[in-house]
Amino acid sequence: MKTIVITGANTGIGFATAKKCVQSGHHVILACRNLEKAKQAKQQLDTLAQQHQAKVEIVQLELNSLQNVNDTANDILSRFHKIDVLVNNAGLLTPQLESTQDGFEKQIGVNYLAHYLWTLKLLPLLKKSDAGRIIHLASLMHLAGSIQFDQFKADDVTRYNGVKRYGNSKLANLLMSNVLAEKLKDTPITSNAIHPGGVDSEIYRDLPKYQYAVIKLFLIPPAKPAQLIHDIAFDPAWANRSGEYISLQTPAFKSRNAKDIQLARKLYDVSYDYVKQYLE
Ligand SMILES: NC(=O)c1ccc[n+]([C@@H]2O[C@H](COP(=O)([O-])OP(=O)(O)OC[C@H]3O[C@@H](n4cnc5c(N)ncnc54)[C@H](OP(=O)(O)O)[C@@H]3O)[C@@H](O)[C@H]2O)c1
């Protein structure tokens, strides 16, 4: 039985992944912001867990707050002795400019920076696994993204476009995967990013209805990316594959920015400065 931690596991791709992992008998930790929704998800998984000798637990994780990320990671560090797989899945698309509790533009803050801190905090437990694996939910939309170092803070944002900022955050996820693969190359831990395809989930909930109606025609069920994540997480064929970007539904086109390891290293260093109070 391996231990897998999934952020945003109460719905969508995260829940479908949790279900697959329960069906293959693993210990699944649902890291969710809303405890009520997390309990409902756990309830749905508990019967399956009994059938498959799996285990399901919940931790409360609000990625909107770096303090909460820090506290929840510390809770995990004190309660569990090892993590085998980390799935950085939680994410949102905000059409209007919003801010995290720490003043970051919400999409870069929640989708990327909070997961950066989360991952660095939990690395010591991943290092205790003989086959640690980190999986980042990036997106094809990274093609529209760039890293606007001078606009991480909501107050510094000029000309907000929600889709573009989503692309920025997904590019950041992809760069983080690449730089972690580089930093961890002498360890058994792998780091890979995926585009899950256009997936029928709640992520499009805030889009105008007509836009959603068009997009829905092309969406695939969450079980498809869940299978891919499950393979990367547990299949021995993935033991030595790291720093890859895998795309469902579309060819795995990577933007020039996404291939730029200097940019990835700079992003890592800049991000470290933002969260170092929780790491030192
Ligand atoms: N769906 C797609 O077509 C698609 C395409 C490319 C990439 N992706 C990526 O796939 C990942 C999963 O998306 P999905 O489609 O499954 O979306 P979803 O159904 O909307 O699920 C997103 C999850 O993230 C959680 N979340 C949002 N904000 C959070 C916060 N501040 N703190 C903690 N958790 C938070 C949500 O919690 P609540 O339920 O409480 O809101 C939910 O559990 C995302 O990273 C997304 O960018 C999706």
CATH code at position 163: 3.40.50.720
- Alpha-carbon distance 277 to 208, whole Å? 39
- Alpha-carbon distance 199 to 155, whole Å? 32
List phi, psi (to 5°) of 195: -100, 120
**Centre of ligand 1 from the C-alpha of residue 233, in Å:** 19
**Centre of ligand 1 from the C-alpha of residue 186, in Å:** 31
**Centre of ligand 1 from the C-alpha of residue 93, in Å:** 8
What was the pLDDT predicted at 132?
98
Q: Which amino acid is at 137?
A: L
Query: Considering its fold, how many domains does the chain have in total?
Result: 1
What was the pLDDT predicted at 128?
98
- Annotated active-site residue 166? The verdict is yes
What was the pLDDT predicted at 185?
97
Atom of ligand 1 nearest to the CA of 64: 31
- The residue whose CA has the least distance to atom 6 of ligand 1 is 139
What is the domain extent for residue 265? 3-278
What was the pLDDT predicted at 257?
98
Q: Which residues of the chain have pLDDT under 70?
A: none
Regarding the beta carbon of 14 and ligand 1, being less than 6 Å apart is answered: yes
What was the pLDDT predicted at 38?
98
Question: Which of 82, 228, 74, 88 has the alpha carbon at shortest distance from 172?
Answer: 88
Atom of ligand 1 nearest to the CA of 33: 33
Q: Which residues contact 208 (CB under 8 A, 6 or more apart)?
A: none
